[in-house]
Amino acid sequence: MSGFEEVVGARGILVKMGLAQPESRAFVVGGFVGAAMYALGLPKQAFTEDGEMRPFKPLSPHPSATYAHFLVVPVSAAIAAYVFT
């Protein structure tokens, strides 16, 4: 008997990598998308000229608050990964 396991398909690869549960896949997708968005500085409206993140308008009365918050895209990607995988 050999010590090797045959991995078949994308599902087998995800299980072998420890991403068998939708929660873990959603966390990884959200993390990757968040890191990429932060590295690219997107969306531009979510950051000040100094590179600081603007507050979210529904939660903050600050005059520079915006509806285009940085976390909208990573959280949306994580929710989509949870629902569709």
Phi then psi for 66, rounded to 5 degrees?
-140, 155
pLDDT-derived band of residue 6, with 50, 70 and 90 as boundaries? confident
| Residue 42 to residue 33: CA distance in whole angstroms | 11
Tokens of 66: 């915006």
| Domains of the chain by residue range | 20-84
What pLDDT sits at residue 1? 54
Query: Locate tokens 């969306």: which residue?
Result: 43
Residue 79 has pLDDT above 70, yes or no: yes
pLDDT digits (tens, 9 = 90+) for 46-78: 888 888 888 888 899 999 888 888 888 899 999
Instruction: Report pTM.
Output: 0.71
